A and B are shown apart, each in its own frame.
Chain A
Amino acid sequence: MAVQMYIIRIKCLLKDRANIFWTFLFPIILSTFFSMAFSNLYTSETFQSIKIGVVKNESYDNNEEFKSALKEASMSKDKDGSKLFHVTESSEEEAIKLLDENKIDGYIKMDDKIQFFVKTSGLNQTITKSFLESFEENINTVTTLASNNPGQLENIIDDLSDSSNYTEANSGSNPPDMTLNYYYALLAMACLYGANWGNKEITEIEADLSMKGARINISPMHKMKLLICNMLAAFTVHSIGIMLLLSYYIYGLKLDFSDNFNYVILTCLTGSILGISFGGMISAILRKKEVLKGAITSAVIMLGCFLAGLMIVQMKYIIALKAPLIQYINPAHLITDAFYSLYYYDTLDRFRLNIVLMIGYTVIFSIITYLVTRRRQYASI
């Protein structure tokens, strides 16, 4: 009997076009837009050789030191390493023209001193400026040192040319690809959209909320048993939607998740149950029109996702700094952060905390729903 009710319920749910759209299709469409829009966002931070021009005049031609410094900076140190500059030598008119057409970031002109002409301020221009300064600074250093030990000039110049690298990267975690948080927050949103399914289940089993509920209440089927069957059916349908989205993320969009794949699935399923139980609770407490309940659920979910960084990714960080408590009461944050901490941290501590809180909220929501719906009787509807 129970199995039959479960199967029938699944069939019913699959006919709910609006819910199917919002949980199955909408996140997939939105994540496709994300991937189209964000595909270059992370790589745009990658360093590209700075294109600069040099005015070829007499003082430049005569300045061998500067020429060789520039030449060295426009060659890569190792084979795959990118070079600092891509230099174009030309007359001043041509350099201006190149700058006008944004083909170069600026051009260098040597007279009695070095001048650098740009169109706008920017990091590339600042890097070039600081390269030019370090050239002048080298001359300063050599002059000072040579005046102290006159015999050493050649040694000093030799030493100057072999600069070494004094920084060492901390290895370990996955690359800090900020765009991933958008996708994680979107997955959290899809999980929480389960609320619409939970909402529907309560509405359709309570006699004062829908005609269907009234009919069910006069049937000999035990109400709680039926509710559990229906909730399971909702969970089945919704979690299939989430799994489809997850496989689209991994195989379609080729996103990075943690290597620990079981934990990713665990997070998805826990998130799905959390969403459904949240919707159930809202529906059980607010015994109002369906439209209003839908609006309240959407508003809460959207606000939660906004705080978890769905629209402005830094929002998640700002909340963590300024109002850390909100993190722990925002279900969207818990789900997003579970994926984030799986991907980015070496340890599982924060992941565990998130999962425990998610399960805790699910239990609380379910108990509230149970207390409100149990043994409810209707003298008149």
Chain B
Amino acid sequence: MQVFRLYFKLLNRSLPTIVIYIIVFLVIVVGSSLNAKQNNEKMFKESKVDIAFINYDKNSAFIDGLKDYLGSRCNFKEIEDSKEAIQDALFFRNVSYIVTIPKDFTERFFDGEEVKVQKLSVPESTDSVFIDMAINNYFDKVKLYINHSQSLSEDEIVKSVMKDLSSEVEVEFYSKTAKEEDSSFLINYYNYIVYAMLSTLILGIGAIMISFTELDIRRRNIVTPLSITSFNLQQILGNITFTLGLDVILILFGFFLNGKVLVSQKSLLFILNAVIFSIVSLSIAYLVGILVKSREASNGVANVIGMGSCFISGVFVPKELLGENVLNIAKFTPAYWYTTTNEAVGKLTNHTLENYTGIFQNMLIQFGFAISFFAIALVISKKKSVEVI
């Protein structure tokens, strides 16, 4: 098993780079899952919009009432009151709406003047529609009281308006039984595996194959008493061991981060899908290893293929936000079918044959990719091997 041992000696050399890629992967996956919202709610929860409230008017009951009313719909955030700070906060969506009450607003409003509050928001956005609606609703009601019960003071009007505005409509989930267990973490984690799998395999296998294909080394290897079949088999065994080892590491990390080891039908499907994708990645890495001639080149290719797949196949950016054209292009990459399978597995609620057929079809498509990449690689390597040695 000299070749097999050599394989891992060579792999050892690129270990630092591989470890860096795995660490980057873990950082990204943990960061993104912290960001993702939990979806296992049992009760309806109102969405709140982050806004900033800047008041240049005096603290009147009228303005306090508005702030109270908005408080049930928004989170107020403190931001520095300078033009640049306000613009920055909006650009990076620290807040999505900034409302500014101008000076003497209360007085002029009660005098019946047509006054308006200043807003800074993402134009036409859903958030701004929502807040506009709330602000207009409050002012409309106050105006109505001003017009129709002249005898009331400002405080009394605000009090009545706040009383009127306290309606609560019941919101319920339409069917409580259909609530599925939350798989968003697992979907997210297994989707991100695309990045780790492609980059590490292309880098690791690329580096090893470049060492083997160097002309002098190839000449030396051919004159050994070891048969070419055994030589190749040992190399293939090395590749498979490396790939499966990576699978085991990544899957164990997944269980570790998830906090619980659950062996359910779902997690078995996730694992099966990941193993299949690792075989596809292996085939891509093998093909790249045959084509590139230097480590630098394989580094570049690993980055482009790894990140590219993640960007267009719904890993970094959810599929719903990708355009139709992009998705059509993505269908030519195996990563698309891998992530689609993950999402289907995550959504699996009832184990009907129909649901499984879709999942297994996607897995078969990935196999198809793997077979065609291997086939191309074999044709090219055959051509190369008959070149003058």
Residues of A with C-beta under 8 A to B268: none
Decide: A176 near B90, CB < 8 A? Known: A22-B300, A33-B307, A166-B135: yes
Residues of A with C-beta under 8 A to B165: 137, 140
- Spell out A's residues near B (CB within 8 Å): 17-18, 21-22, 26, 29-30, 33-34, 36-41, 44-48, 82, 84, 96, 99-100, 106-107, 113-127, 129-134, 136-137, 140-141, 144-145, 148-149, 152, 155-156, 159-160, 163-170, 173, 175-176, 178, 181, 311-314, 316-317, 320, 340, 344-345, 350
> Measured between alpha carbons, how far is A271 from B28 in the docked complex, in Å?
28
The smallest C-beta distance from B309 to any residue of chain A, in angstroms, reads: 9
Select one of A124, A133, A173, A181 contacting B168, CB under 8 A.
A133
Can you give 27 contacting A-B residue pairs, CB < 8 Å?
A26-B300, A33-B311, A39-B326, A45-B122, A107-B174, A113-B170, A114-B170, A115-B170, A116-B171, A118-B174, A121-B46, A123-B127, A125-B44, A125-B171, A127-B133, A133-B168, A134-B137, A137-B137, A141-B161, A155-B148, A164-B139, A167-B117, A167-B132, A169-B118, A317-B89, A345-B87, A350-B84
Residues of A with C-beta under 8 A to B90: 176
Nearest chain-B residue to A115 (Cβ)? B170
Among A37, A115, A313, which residue has the most Cβ atoms of chain B within 10 A?
A37
- Spell out B's residues near A (CB within 8 Å): 28, 31, 39, 41, 44-47, 49, 73, 84, 87-94, 99-100, 115-130, 132-137, 139-141, 143-145, 147-149, 160-161, 163-175, 178, 294, 296-297, 300, 303-304, 307-308, 311-312, 316-317, 321-323, 326, 329
Residues of A with C-beta under 8 A to B126: 45-48, 123-124, 127
Residues of A with C-beta under 8 A to B321: 37, 40-41, 44
The smallest C-beta distance from B303 to any residue of chain A, in angstroms, reads: 7
- Contact present for B93 and A314 (CB under 8 Å): yes
Nearest chain-B residue to A141 (Cβ)? B164
> Measured between alpha carbons, how far is A156 from B146 in the docked complex, in Å?
11
Select one of A122, A137, A311 contacting B47, CB under 8 A.
A122
| Other 8 A-B pairs with CB < 8 A, given A165-B132, A166-B139 | A18-B296, A33-B312, A47-B128, A114-B169, A116-B170, A125-B47, A148-B148, A317-B88
> Measured between alpha carbons, how far is A120 from B179 in the docked complex, in Å?
10
Nearest chain-B residue to A39 (Cβ)? B323
The smallest C-beta distance from B187 to any residue of chain A, in angstroms, reads: 16
Select one of A36, A107, A148, A167 contacting B149, CB under 8 A.
A148
Residues of A with C-beta under 8 A to B49: 123
Shortest 6 CB-CB distances between A and B: which pairs? A317-B92, A33-B311, A136-B167, A140-B164, A168-B116, A117-B174
Residues of B with C-beta under 8 A to A113: 170
Decide: A169 near B119, CB < 8 A? Known: A33-B308, A129-B171, A345-B87: yes
Residues of A with C-beta under 8 A to B308: 29, 33
- Contact present for A144 and B160 (CB under 8 Å): yes
Select one of B116, B123, B175, B303 contacting A96, CB under 8 A.
B175
- Contact present for A160 and B144 (CB under 8 Å): yes
Residues of A with C-beta under 8 A to B100: 170
Select one of B125, B127, B144 contacting A156, CB under 8 A.
B144
Residues of B with C-beta under 8 A to A127: 126, 129-130, 133
The smallest C-beta distance from A45 to any residue of chain B, in angstroms, reads: 4
The smallest C-beta distance from A171 to any residue of chain B, in angstroms, reads: 10
Residues of B with C-beta under 8 A to A40: 321-323
- Contact present for A167 and B135 (CB under 8 Å): yes
Residues of A with C-beta under 8 A to B173: 117-119
Nearest chain-B residue to A48 (Cβ)? B126
